[in-house]
């Protein structure tokens, strides 16, 4: 997920949940963005490059295939354990029960992981309703289907637009991804 998406969704959620408590709204927004510090640290450790500007540049490039003549390697998803929801969320939940001031931070982390794991995409009822449970590629029903982005977010596809979401079976998804690769 884009850093800017995390930033804006955290700010909006913070203001919505705590309209009269700016320090809590700020904590939520900070937590919602700073979860991604693990990408930066892992990037720096693997590449030996600690300049955050370079890290941001790499972050913008990494979803695209290397340009001709580009020698810099790709480092994969660069996710630490913080990004595993089933590890982080119980811990964060427990902490916010034991220590209530931690709650806005926990909400920020939860929001971040929901966006990163595409939960908002997979559970989008608008798509399920439009497709009525059938694959929108081949119109076959009764097969395993899931919601996917038509144009991946990392490549500039819109995040919330219904038109960029589609319910597909496994084989139609493969066809779509292949077409996008050669496009
Ligand atoms: Zn993240
Ligand atoms: Zn299909």
Distance 174 CA to ligand 2 centre (A): 9
Ligand located closest to 9 CA: 1
Tell me the three-class secondary structure of the chain, residue by residue: CCHHHHHHHHHHHHHHHCCCCHHHHHHHHHHHHHCCHHHHHHHHHHHCCCCHHHHHHHHHHCCCCCCCCCCCCCCCCCCCHHHCHHHHHHHHHHHHHHCHHHHHHHHHHHHHHHHHCCHHHHCCHHHHHHHCCCCCCCCCCCCCEEEEECCCHHHCCCCCCHHHEEEEEHHHHHHHHHHHHHC
Q: In this predicted model, what pLDDT tens digit does every residue of 82-139 receive, in sequence order?
A: 888 888 999 999 999 999 999 999 999 999 998 888 888 999 999 999 999 899 999 9
Return the pLDDT at 95: 95
Q: Where are the domains of the chain?
A: 3-117, 120-182
Q: In this predicted model, what pLDDT tens digit does every residue of 84-99 receive, in sequence order?
A: 888 899 999 999 999 9
Return the pLDDT at 183: 63
Ligand located closest to 3 CA: 1
pLDDT band at 31; cut points 50, 70, 90: very high
Distance 37 CA to ligand 1 centre (A): 8
Return the pLDDT at 92: 93
Ligand located closest to 137 CA: 2
Return the pLDDT at 119: 85
Ligand located closest to 116 CA: 1
Q: Percentage of the chain with pLDDT > 70? A: 99
Select 120-182's CATH number: 3.40.1800, 2.60.120, 2.130.10, 3.40.720. 3.40.1800
Distance 167 CA to ligand 2 centre (A): 8
Give me the mean pLDDT over the 65-74 stretch. 76
pLDDT band at 179; cut points 50, 70, 90: confident
Return the pLDDT at 181: 73
């Amino acid at each position: 997920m884009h850093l800017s998406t995390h930033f804006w969704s955290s700010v909006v959620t913070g203001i919505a949940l705590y309209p009269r408590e700016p320090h809590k709204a700020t904590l939520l927004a900070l937590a919602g963005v700073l979860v991604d510090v693990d990408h930066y640290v892992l990037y720096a450790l693997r590449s030996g490059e600690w300049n955050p500007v370079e890290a941001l540049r790499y972050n913008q490039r990494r979803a695209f295939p290397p340009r001709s003549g580009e020698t810099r390697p790709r480092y994969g998803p660069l996710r630490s354990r913080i990004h595993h929801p089933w590890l982080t969320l119980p811990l964060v939940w427990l902490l916010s029960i034991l220590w209530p001031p931690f709650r806005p931070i926990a909400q920020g982390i939860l929001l971040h992981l929901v966006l990163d794991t595409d939960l908002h995409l997979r559970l989008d009822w608008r798509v399920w309703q439009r497709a009525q449970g059938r694959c929108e590629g081949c119109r076959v029903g009764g097969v395993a289907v899931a919601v996917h982005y038509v144009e991946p977010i990392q490549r500039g596809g819109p995040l919330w637009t219904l038109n960029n979401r589609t319910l597909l079976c496994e084989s139609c998804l493969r066809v779509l991804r292949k077409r996008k690769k050669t496009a």
